[in-house]
């Protein structure tokens, strides 16, 4: 919840936080669905490993600064 508040510049008691969480999850699922439809040969495990690896690379690059 804290990351959602920071990302959307909300206070932790904002009544609309559940809407923002749903919106954020829906957007992510749509992006994942589009990627998987664009590449039908990609299986779920390979997709997740690729996303985790990509995220860790971005984290390590940011952390090195």
Work out the pLDDT band at 62, boundaries 50, 70, 90: low
For 11-43, how does the pLDDT look when each residue is reduced to its tens digit (9 = 90+)? 999 999 999 999 989 998 999 889 888 888 888
Q: Based on the structure, what is the number of domains in the chain?
A: 1
- Find, among 49, 3, 47, the residue nearest to 25 by Cα: 3
Domain that holds residue 48: 2-64
């Amino acid at each position: 919840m804290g990351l959602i508040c920071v990302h959307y510049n909300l206070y932790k008691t904002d009544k609309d936080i559940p809407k923002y969480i749903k919106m954020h999850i829906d957007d992510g699922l749509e992006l994942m669905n589009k990627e998987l439809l664009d590449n039908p040969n990609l299986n779920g495990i390979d997709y997740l490993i690729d996303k985790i690896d990509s995220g860790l690379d971005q984290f390590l690059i940011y952390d090195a600064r």
